[in-house]
Structure 1
Amino acid sequence: MASSGVCQQPSTSLVKVDPCSHLERPIAEEQSDIHAQAELVSTPRWQSVPSSSPPSEDSTDDNNLGRKIETESLTSSVFDFESEGGRQYTANIPGYPLPNDDQELERELQQHKMFLEITENNLFFSSIGKSPQNILDIGTGGGSWALDVGDKYPSAAVLGIDRTPVQPSLVPPNVQFLVDDCEKSWSDGDVDYDFVHLRCMVSILKNVPGVIKSAFRSLRPGGWIEFQDFAIEPKCDDGTMQENDAFKTVCNLAREAYSELGFNTTSTKDLRSLLDTAGFKNVHCKEFKVPIGPWKAEKSSERLGLQQKEAMLDFIGTLAARPFRALGFSVEEAELKLLSARQALADKTVHRYLVYYFYHAQRP
C-alpha cells in the first residue's frame, strides 16, 4: 500500500488475466431497443431503475438499494441520439466529447480488460473489507466494472450510474443501472455507501471538486472512494520521442479541445489535494507506467503495450468529431492530424508510455 502523501513508485509488474466470461458478450446483443422506449417518465432521483427501460410514472417501489430521494423528471431526451462525424452521441448532453455507439462500448470493454491487466486482476485497491453492502459506480458506461464487482460480492448492492443509457438490460439481481448526471446535487438518501468508484472520469467532469464533495457526503464513516484514471500526456524516458512527435501533438490538442468544451484533463494531478480538501483521510496513490506499443521485451509488458496502443488508436478516433470541431478544424484537417498520429504509433523505436493513477481515500 502506498504511504499517505506520496504516490507509490510506478510499477510494471504484470500477470496474465482471465477476464470474467461476461466480458466476451457481443455488445450489440446486450443493448435493448432504447429508441422505442422513449417516453416522459418520473422517477425518484437515483432510485435504481434499469437504464435501458424507462420506469412507469406511478412506480413507487423501494428496491434493495433503499433509494428514497426526491422526485424529478427524467425526460425522453436521455433516449434521444444524434449523429456527428459518423459517430453517435446522446443528444441531451451538448458538447460531451465521447460518443455512445457500439464502437465506443467496445472501446470501453477493451479498456476494462486492460485495467485488469495493469492491476494484476485487481478491480480496486481500496480496503473495503470482505462484505461491503452498498457500492456505487459513477460513470459506469457499459457496466463491465459494476458487473465484475457484483460477481465478486454477491451480497452487495451495486448501483452503476451514467449519463447515457447503454448498459445491458439483463443483469444479476444485485446489480442495477440508472441514467443520471453525477454532477447534479446529490440528496441524502437511506444508503450510506461503503465504496464509490470512478474510472476515467476526471477528464469528462466539469466539476471534479463538487463530485468529490458529494461522494464524501454519500459515504458512510470509514467508506472509501477510488479514482482510476490516466493523464493524456505521453512520456518517454530515453529520448526516443521527439518534442514534435505527432501522437504527442494530438494528445496536446485533445487536452485543448476538452478544455474548450469545458472539461479539465489536468485534474488527475490535483486529485490528492482535492481529496484532502474534501475531508478524506488515508489518501493513497498507486502509479503504473503503461507502454504504448510492444516495445518492452517482457511478454506481459509486450501484451499490455499492444492493448494500450489499440486503446490509444480508439481514443484518438473519438477526437475527429466533437473535440476537434471545437478547435475549428475541418474534417479533412482533423483526419490528417489523426493519420499522422496513427503513423507515429506504428513506430516501435519510439518508447512512449502513459501513467495510470489509482487514488483511493477514506472518509473519517
Structure 2
Amino acid sequence: MEEAPPIVHGQRGDEDGDSGIGDIDSSSESDSTSVRSNTKDYVEENGRLYHADWIDGKYLLPNDEREQRRLNSQHDFLFDGNSLHKAPLQGLLNVLDVGTGTGRWAMAFADAYPDAEVTAVDISPNLMPIWPPTNCKFLVDDAEHFGGIGNKEYNYIHVRLLHGFRNPARFFRHAWEALLPGGYIEIAEFELPLKFHDQEKARDSALMTWSANVIEGASRLGIDLTIAEKISTLLKDRGFEGIEESISAWPIGAWPKKNERKELGVRLQEYWMETLTAFAWRPLREMDWHNEETQCLLAKMRTEICGKNIRASMHVRTFWARKP
C-alpha cells in the first residue's frame, strides 16, 4: 500500500495576522508527524469530548466520534447528488479546504480531481482520516491564525461555517493573499436565525428559544452566528469580483407537504437533533443556563422536530467569488 501523506502542523505567523501567512513547515520527519500540543488537549463536558478551546468559547462544537458521524451526515446532505463545488474551476488545481472536519469533502475532491493537490486544515486532529488520498494532506492548526495558507499559492479555497472565526475580515484578507489571480473562494454557511413559516405560532417554541439564545450566547463569546448575511459584503470589501450566491432551504422536521421535501425533512430529523444539540451547550452556558434547563429545552426541541406543528427551516447559503 502506498504511504499516505502525513498530517502536519502549521507554522504560525504573528497572532494578529499582520505579517501575512507563511508556509507549511514539513522540513523534518518529526515535524511532519506532529501537531502543536494545544491541539491535542481535550475536555469532557455533558458526556461529550471537546477541544480545550471549548472552555474559552473559541471552538463551540464537540470533536468526538458522535460529532464525526454528524459531520459526515452533513457532508452527505450538502453534496447529495450535487457537485463538490459551484465555482467554475478549470485546469490544474492547488486547493485549500478550511475547516475540513472529518475531511470528507477534501478526500472526495482529491479523488474527483487526481491531478489536484489538496491541503485540508482543522483544529481537531482526531476528526481527521488516517488514510487520505495521496494527493491530499491534512494540516492541524487553528485556521483563524494558522501559517499554512501561503502566498499566491492556491487556485481555489473552500470554506464551511465561517462563523467559527472571530475576525472574518482578517480571514478574507489572508485568503486573498493566498489565492492566485483568477482563483476562486467558495463559502458554505448556515443562516441564522432559523426561518419559521408562522412566526406567531412559533413564538414560544423551543426552536425559536434555541435560535435566539444560541445566537446571543455565541455573540457574547465573540462569535457571529449570523455571519451568512454579511459574507457578500465582506467579499466585495476585500476586492473579490463576480460574487454569486445560491440558497437552499433544509426543513427541520417532516412538516413539508410535497413528497420530495417531506422525505428530505424525515432524513434530516436525526441530523438536526444532533446539530442543534451540539451548538447549544457552550452558548447557553454563556447565557447562564443550568444544564437541567438546557436538557429540558433540547427535549422539547426534539419533540418539535419530530412533529409538524412548528414549521421551521435552516437556509444554507453558498457564495463563490473570484480574485481578479
TM normalised by structure 1 equals 0.77
Gaps of 5+ in 1: 1-33, 35-40, 61-72
Q: Hey, what's the Cα distance between the residues in 2 that align with 1:245 and 1:259?
A: 21
Out of 166, 182, 186, the residue aligned to residue 226 of structure 1 is 186
Structure-1 residue corresponding to 2:17: none
Contact 1:160 1:178 in 2 (8 A): yes
Structure-2 residue corresponding to 1:123: 84
Structure-2 residue corresponding to 1:281: 241
Q: Hey, what's the Cα distance between the residues in 1 that align with 2:189 and 2:135?
A: 26
Per-residue CA deviation, residues 257-316 of structure 1 (Å, 9 max, x unaligned), is 211222011111001110000010000011112222222244432232123332221122
Structure-2 residue corresponding to 1:213: 173
SS in 2 for 1:357: strand
Structure-1 residue corresponding to 2:143: 182
Structure-2 residue corresponding to 1:112: 75
Identity of aligned residues (%): 31
Q: Is residue 219 of structure 2 the alignment partner of residue 243 of structure 1?
A: no
Q: Hey, what's the Cα distance between the residues in 1 that align with 2:172 and 2:202?
A: 37
**Structure with the larger helix share:** 2
Contact 1:313 1:342 in 2 (8 A): yes
Out of 34, 56, 76, the residue aligned to residue 30 of structure 2 is 56
Q: Hey, what's the Cα distance between the residues in 2 that align with 1:267 and 1:44?
A: 28
Q: Hey, what's the Cα distance between the residues in 2 that align with 1:250 and 1:149?
A: 34
Out of 282, 286, 294, the residue aligned to residue 334 of structure 1 is 294
Structure-2 residue corresponding to 1:17: none
Contact 2:9 2:141 in 1 (8 A): no
Contact 1:123 1:149 in 2 (8 A): yes
Structure-1 residue corresponding to 2:155: 194
Structure-2 residue corresponding to 1:97: 60
How big is the alpha-carbon RMSD for the aligned residues of Structure 1 and Structure 2? 2.6
Contact 1:134 1:195 in 2 (8 A): yes
Paired amino acid for 1:178: L
State which drifts further: 309-318 or 98-107: 309-318
SS in 1 for 2:193: coil
SS in 1 for 2:195: coil
Size of the aligned set, in residue pairs, is: 304
Structure-2 residue corresponding to 1:83: 44
Contact 2:99 2:159 in 1 (8 A): yes
Paired amino acid for 1:333: E
Alpha-carbon spacing, 1:248–1:43, altered in 2? closer, same or farther (3 Å): closer
Contact 2:103 2:128 in 1 (8 A): yes
Contact 2:98 2:158 in 1 (8 A): yes
Deviation, 1:169, is: 1.6
Per-residue CA deviation, residues 82-141 of structure 1 (Å, 9 max, x unaligned), is 111211111256322111001111100001111013xx4221210112x33201000000
Paired amino acid for 2:84: L
Contact 2:151 2:177 in 1 (8 A): no
Gaps of 5+ in 2: 1-6, 13-22
